[in-house]
Amino acid sequence: MKASLKNIIRLPNVFVTVFLVVFLCTVLILLCISVYRSCLSAEETLNQTTVVTMELTLKERLTRVETEDGGYEIVDLNHKLLDGQVLELLRAESRISELHYICNTFFFPADLLCTEAEYADLQAAAAEGGSFSRDTQLGLYEVGVAGCTREDLLPETLGVPKEDLTVTYLAGNGLEDGVLLPKKLYHGLGRPEAFLIGWYKAEGYGFRFDAPLPDYLLAHFEELKGKPAPPALSVPVCGYYTCGEDDQAATVMVANEKYWQSIYGAQDYYTLQENRQTFVRPDVDAFGEVGLAKIRMTTAYPGEVASIIGGLMDAGLGGDDYLITASDYEYKFVLAQMESMGNFSLVILCAAVLFGLLLLAVFLAYAVRKRQREIYILRALGYGEHGIALSFAFEFGTVILGALVCGVAAAYLFGNGICGMISQRAMENARSAVENLSPVAQSMANSETLRDQLESAVDRYLETDLSLAYGVPFPIYGILLGTAAVFSIYAYGLTRGIAKRNMMQKEG
């Protein structure tokens, strides 16, 4: 044994090579495993912390068609699904965590739903042919977004005393749009100017509720009948219309989609995208935007956006009427960074494993063959095959084990530092990607948007905790040790094979 240890020093060429191969491969393998695992866990964190917003848009909804008798008919272009059904589909998808309905507001004939007497009227109207028509007081309960043709009708419309009403007009608007709210509510709002109400002067619309009363509405009345009649029906609010920017109109509560289908005569509400001028629409068409316009959805499964969308389309949404877009650019960007780093480390890992195994196997075979003469002399001196093979195996095994231990120690000591350097570089690369946004992209019309998008994606990436850190699961050390043992056995076998060979045959 002592002689074997001495041999290690005496044969520096052989053993330094073996040592270096094993040492470098060990360090590489451990580092790559660490980087790969860090990437995986960062991906997991990313998946767990990222919420992707998707937006479902209705391509076109209702249109108004002129009838022969000069009237208008509202035609639902979306024959396939009712809004409620769309929502049902969305709700059935368990990966969607939040639904945020964006609709055009409409005025709900809330007072119709208030009293038994009114209900009796409704029933009668329904019995007469299912059509219901009357002048209505409009107002959305609790929030009270309202509109009417004449301002002096407002108190009546909203059911509040005149002195309690605040009307704010927006300057320069031909259609006299304004905010019409009960004072109480008006003062409670952070941005009352966001409550923009437009209304039509066209007669017959806006104040006239002229549509067949759907069954489910009747069913709803039926439900109410059994209960002690509340003085006012609280319409369940199911969503918000939100608009982020200051110059865009925003924030309207809408009623439960259960009632939507009945509100063809509602006033429309629409946002200003660029400037207030577009608010004025000469071809006033309230119907195009009644009801569900957009649904904002969120999912906590950013990686499954495509499958969610595909699933929804397959489930019946179809691509003709609805469009779903996902704002997952940032997620994808960050994920791509991690994946590419993870894959890169995996490639290096495989290369290190493969080259390490191959190199070591070949080199051991070469080194043992090179010592063939030594084996022969030892045999001639009366050393047994087993003994010679054992001492050779011990020599190689010791060096391999030593290199392994040094490799593990080096990886352990410097692993975090090296990993840190790698993440540093990765982040710098990401940063320079923004700076070097190619001239092609610069020249494109939407280069600003592109750049913004990329920048925020990079920010998101830099925020993501991709802290590459040294971390190797315990069994890996076991595997490394096992490999060392296998190579020792291999060296034993090689040596014994040469020693066993008939020395006389060998001589020829």
Partner 1 sequence: MSVLEVQNLCYDYVQRYGVTHALKGVNGVFESGKLYALTGRSGSGKSTLLSLLAGFDRPKAGKITLDGEDISTVKPSLYRKEKVGMIFQAYNLIPHLTAVENVLLGAGGKKSRLPSEAQAILRSMGLEEAHFRKKPSHLSGGEQQRVAIARALASDACIILADEPTGNLDSDTGSMVVEILKDLAHRLGKCVILVTHSEEIASEADVRYRMSDGILV
Binding site for ligand ADP (CB under 6 A): 504-505, 507-508
CA 394 to chain centre: 55
- Tell me the closest approach of the beta carbon of residue 506 to ligand ADP, in angstroms: 7
Q: Residue 374 binds which entry of ligand ADP, partner 1, none, with Cβ cut-offs from 5 to 8 Å by kind?
A: partner 1
Query: Which is closer to partner 1, CB of 145 or CB of 393?
Result: 393
- Tell me the closest approach of the beta carbon of residue 365 to ligand ADP, in angstroms: 22
Query: Which is closer to partner 1, CB of 227 or CB of 373?
Result: 373
- Tell me the closest approach of the beta carbon of residue 12 to partner 1, in angstroms: 9
Q: Residue 384 binds which entry of ligand ADP, partner 1, none, with Cβ cut-offs from 5 to 8 Å by kind?
A: partner 1
Query: Which is closer to partner 1, CB of 87 or CB of 378?
Result: 378
Assess contact for 499 and 375: CB atoms under 8 A: yes
Buried b (16+ CB within 10 A) or exposed e, 380-401: eeeeebeebbbbbbbbbbbbbb
- Tell me the closest approach of the beta carbon of residue 369 to partner 1, in angstroms: 14
- Tell me the closest approach of the beta carbon of residue 369 to ligand ADP, in angstroms: 17
Q: Residue 304 binds which entry of ligand ADP, partner 1, none, with Cβ cut-offs from 5 to 8 Å by kind?
A: none
DSSP 226: T
Q: Residue 484 binds which entry of ligand ADP, partner 1, none, with Cβ cut-offs from 5 to 8 Å by kind?
A: none
Query: Which is closer to partner 1, CB of 254 or CB of 499?
Result: 499
Q: Residue 275 binds which entry of ligand ADP, partner 1, none, with Cβ cut-offs from 5 to 8 Å by kind?
A: none
- Tell me the closest approach of the beta carbon of residue 501 to ligand ADP, in angstroms: 10
Give the CA dihedral 330, 333, 335, 340, nearest 10 degrees.
-170
The residue type found at 418 is I
Query: Which is closer to partner 1, CB of 45 or CB of 372?
Result: 372
Assess contact for 272 and 281: CB atoms under 8 A: no
Q: Residue 381 binds which entry of ligand ADP, partner 1, none, with Cβ cut-offs from 5 to 8 Å by kind?
A: partner 1
- Tell me the closest approach of the beta carbon of residue 387 to partner 1, in angstroms: 8
Helices of type H across 93-135: 116-127
Q: Residue 382 binds which entry of ligand ADP, partner 1, none, with Cβ cut-offs from 5 to 8 Å by kind?
A: partner 1
- Tell me the closest approach of the beta carbon of residue 493 to partner 1, in angstroms: 19
Query: Which is closer to partner 1, CB of 289 or CB of 395?
Result: 395
Q: Which residues contact 337 (CB under 8 A, 6 or more apart)?
A: 426, 430, 461, 466
State how far the Cα of 331 lies from the Cα of 303, in Å rounded to an integer: 8
Q: Residue 262 binds which entry of ligand ADP, partner 1, none, with Cβ cut-offs from 5 to 8 Å by kind?
A: none
- Tell me the closest approach of the beta carbon of residue 502 to partner 1, in angstroms: 6
Other residues' Cβ atoms within 10 Å of the Cβ of residue 373? 9
Tell me which residues touch partner 1 (CB under 8 A).
Answer: 7, 10-11, 373-374, 377-385, 502-505, 507-508
Q: Residue 380 binds which entry of partner 1, ligand ADP, none, with Cβ cut-offs from 5 to 8 Å by kind?
A: partner 1
DSSP 253-300: EEE-GGGGGG-TTPPP----SS-GGGG--SS--SGGGSEEEEEEEEES
3-state secondary structure of 65: strand
Query: Which is closer to partner 1, CB of 285 or CB of 374?
Result: 374
Q: Residue 29 binds which entry of ligand ADP, partner 1, none, with Cβ cut-offs from 5 to 8 Å by kind?
A: none
Q: Residue 364 binds which entry of ligand ADP, partner 1, none, with Cβ cut-offs from 5 to 8 Å by kind?
A: none
- Tell me the closest approach of the beta carbon of residue 496 to partner 1, in angstroms: 13
DSSP 248: S
State how far the Cα of 380 lies from the Cα of 351, in Å rounded to an integer: 42
Query: Which is closer to ligand ADP, CB of 163 or CB of 507?
Result: 507
3-state secondary structure of 68: coil
The number of residues in the chain equals 508
Query: Which is closer to ligand ADP, CB of 443 or CB of 505?
Result: 505
- Tell me the closest approach of the beta carbon of residue 366 to ligand ADP, in angstroms: 23
Collect contacts of 334-340 with beta carbons under 8 A, ≥24 apart: 334/46, 334/50, 334/457, 334/460, 334/461, 334/464, 335/43, 335/46, 335/302, 335/303, 337/426, 337/430, 337/461, 337/466, 338/39, 338/42, 338/43, 338/46, 338/464, 338/466, 339/39, 339/43
State how far the Cα of 239 lies from the Cα of 105, in Å rounded to an integer: 11
Query: Which is closer to ligand ADP, CB of 2 or CB of 373?
Result: 373
25, 50, 2, 132: which is closest to 331 by C-alpha? 50
3-state secondary structure of 72: strand
State how far the Cα of 315 lies from the Cα of 247, in Å rounded to an integer: 38
Query: Which is closer to partner 1, CB of 293 or CB of 499?
Result: 499
State how far the Cα of 257 lies from the Cα of 83, in Å rounded to an integer: 7
- Tell me the closest approach of the beta carbon of residue 8 to partner 1, in angstroms: 10
Here the tokens at position 3 are 């002689």
State how far the Cα of 405 lies from the Cα of 477, in Å rounded to an integer: 10
Query: Which is closer to ligand ADP, CB of 37 or CB of 379?
Result: 379
Q: Residue 226 binds which entry of ligand ADP, partner 1, none, with Cβ cut-offs from 5 to 8 Å by kind?
A: none
